[in-house]
Amino acid sequence: MNYAAIHQALKKEHLTWAVVADSLGCSQYHVMNVCARRSESQRVALAISAILQRDVSEVFPDVPRYQDDRKADRDRVARIAADRLAAAGLKVA
């Protein structure tokens, strides 16, 4: 969705940028800038998606970073590293 589509979807739910921003504890300009792709915030993107009851990949399909589960990726890589250390006979923490 582009900025205008997100704005329209929020209006359809009787929400404004200010109401969304207040619920997130940030400025409406930050929310607007994230939706316009002038700044990035996974927290705001996930919140907007949740408010619109849509997947983040539908609302922000052009921002792959929002769709990544970085913690899961980090945990997966850490497990691989630990397995390799154990296979090499090294102590794993």
25 part of a folded domain? yes
Q: How many domains does the chain have?
A: 1
pLDDT of residue 43: 94
| Structural domain range at position 9 | 3-67
pLDDT of residue 51: 96
48 part of a folded domain? yes
pLDDT of residue 49: 96
* pTM of the predicted protein model: 0.72
pLDDT of residue 91: 81
CATH of the domain at 7: 1.10.260
31 part of a folded domain? yes
pLDDT in tens, the chain (93 residues): 999 999 999 999 999 999 999 999 999 999 999 999 999 999 999 999 999 999 999 999 999 888 877 677 788 888 999 999 999 998 876
What gap in Å lies between CA 14 and CA 28, rounded to an integer?
Answer: 15
